[in-house]
Amino acid sequence: MDLKKYGMSPYIAISLAGILCFLSGIVIAGCNEVGWDPWVNTLSDLGVSDSSLTSSTFNISCYIAGICVFIFGLGLCVFSKDSLQKIGGMSIMVGGCGLFLVGAMTLSNVTMHNIATGLFCIPLVIGIILVTLHHFAIRNPFIMKSSIVVLLVTLIQWPIFTGALSEIASILCAIGWWVTQFLDSLRFKAAAIASE
């Protein structure tokens, strides 16, 4: 199957499915963990739970989501003609590797886990910003407006939520950003078909 004819849509869809899998894994692990408080505990606490169902669910969801986010970054590198978007794609690929490592390097080794978390969060945020800046540069109003909304929600929630709730809110914002990317890709594809 020639994925190139579908453009970025399959890559975005795969990454969105991966992030939704990650969110589902968090919900299942969190509901299964007795005494886990999302206001106090972090998501990483789920990865070192005494319950094998909790820890396995959380860590496996990190693996799946990490691979899917990596695939999205790869798609950006393959399809982008703009260097800003290509660099953003490479950064997102590193973030996907970091998320995979978050599941592999649990809190049982705090130093390695913190390195993995930094490798996930920082490159992913940089990648999202670079890809968004690309859309600002080409004056894509749909992505510009939706990215501003996602960014505002992300910034507003930080002082309100603590612990895992803040992390979950950030994941939901990332899902919102991915959805806008997917909808824009479909919109672009529909416009290309209509012009043929």
Instruction: Give the residue, 151 or 119, on which the prediction is more confident.
Output: 119
pTM of the model: 0.86
CA dihedral 68, 73, 77, 78 (to 10 degrees): 20
Would you state the pLDDT for residue 6? Answer: 67
Segment among 45-49, 73-77, 138-142, 177-181 with least mean pLDDT: 138-142
d(CA 69, CA 170): 15
Which residues, including other chains, have CB under 8 Å from residue 43's CB and lie 6 or more apart?
26, 58, 164, 167, 168
Amino acid letter, 9: S
In this predicted structure, the answer to whether residue 151 has a pLDDT above a threshold of 70 is: yes
Distance CA 196, CA 81 (A): 22
Tell me the average pLDDT across 95-114. 94
> Residue 190 pLDDT > 70, yes or no?
no
Arithmetic mean of pLDDT over the chain: 86
Q: Region 76-80: what's the mean pLDDT? A: 87
Residue with tokens 């963990």: 33
pLDDT at 43: 92
